Chains A and B, each alone.
Chain A
Amino acid sequence: MLLVRDVLDKQMVDRQQNRMGKVDGIVLSLSDGEPPKVVFIEIGSLTLARRLGRRPYQWLLRLRQLAGAEDAARVFRVPWVKVKDVGLDIEVDIDWHETPLKQCQDWLKRHVVKWIPGGQS
Chain B
Amino acid sequence: MKKLFQISLGIVTSVGGFIETGQIATSSQAGAAYGFSLLWAIVIGTVCLVFLIEMSGRFAIASRHTVADGIRERFGSNYFLLTLLIISIVNLLVLASELGGVALALQFVSGVGFQWWALPVAFTAWLLLWKGTFGMIEDGVAILGLVALCFVVAVFVMDPPWLDVAKGLIPTLPHKEPLHYGFIAVSILGAVIAPFLFLFYSSGAIEEKWDKSFFGANRLIATIGMSFGAVIAAAILIVAALVYPPRGITDIEGYDQIAPILTPALGKWGFYLFAGSLGITCFGAALEASLGQAYLVAQGFGWNWSEDAKPRTDPGFALVYTGLLAIAVLPVAVGVDPLQLTIFSMAITALALPFGVVPFLFLMNDRNFVGDHRNGWISNTAVLAIIGLSFIVALITLPLQIFGE
A, B assembled together: yes
Residues of A whose CB lies within 8 Å of any CB of B are 5-6, 8-12, 18-22, 24, 48, 51-52, 88, 101, 104-105, 108-109, 112-113, 116, 118-121
* Given A104-B316, A105-B314; A21-B302 close (CB under 8 Å): yes
Interface pair B368/A21, CB less than 8 Å apart? no
Contact between chains at A119 and B312 (CB < 8 Å): yes
Could you give, for residues 54-92 of chain B, a 1 whenever the CB lies within 8 Å of some chain A CB and a 0 otherwise?
A: 000000000111000100111011101100000000000
Smallest Cβ-Cβ distance to A23: which chain B residue: B302
Given contacts A51-B77, A88-B65, contact A22 B319 (CB under 8 A): no
The 4 closest A-B pairs by CB, nearest first: A22-B302, A108-B315, A21-B302, A19-B304
Could you tell me which residues of chain B, from 87 to 116, have a CB within 8 Å of some CB in chain A? none
User: How many angstroms between the C-alpha atoms of A3 and B373 in the bound complex?
Assistant: 25
- On whether the beta carbons of B65 and A52 are closer than 8 Å, the reply is no
A20 to chain B, nearest CB (A): 7
Closest CB in chain A relative to B303 CB, distance in Å? 6
Does the CB pair A112–B319 fall under 8 Å?
yes
Using Cβ atoms and an 8 Å threshold, which residues of chain B touch A9? 72-74, 76-77, 80
13 chain-A/chain-B pairs, Cβ below 8 angstroms: A8-B76, A9-B73, A20-B302, A21-B302, A22-B77, A88-B64, A101-B301, A104-B316, A105-B315, A108-B315, A108-B316, A108-B319, A112-B315
Docked complex Cα distance between A10 and B318 (Å): 23
Asked if B368 contacts A113 (CB within 8 A), the reply is no
Say whether A113 contacts B318, CB under 8 Å.
Answer: yes
Interface size class of B (residues with CB under 8 A): 20 to 34
- Given the complex of chains A and B, what is the CA–CA distance between A5 and B72 in angstroms? 12
B312 touches A22 (CB 8 A): no
Q: Is B374 an interface position by the 8 A CB rule? A: no
With CB as the reference atom, state the residue of chain B lying closest to A108.
B315
A112 CB contacts on chain B under 8 angstroms? 315, 319
**B369 close to A (CB within 8 Å):** yes
Measured CA separation A12–B305 after assembly (Å): 14
Interface hub of A6, A8, A105, A118 (most chain B Cβ within 10 A):
A105
- Contact yes or no, A113 B315, CB < 8 A: yes
* Residues in A neighbouring B167, C-beta threshold 8 A: none
Q: Which residues of B contact A120 (CB under 8 A)?
A: 312
Q: State whether B302 touches A11 (Cβ < 8 A).
A: yes
Cross-chain contact of A12 among B72, B77, B302, B319 (Cβ < 8 A) = B302
Shortest beta-carbon distance from B133 to chain A in Å: 14
B311 close to chain A: CB less than 8 A: yes
Contact with A along B299-313 (1 / 0, CB 8 A): 011111100001110
A119 to B314, CA, bound (A): 11
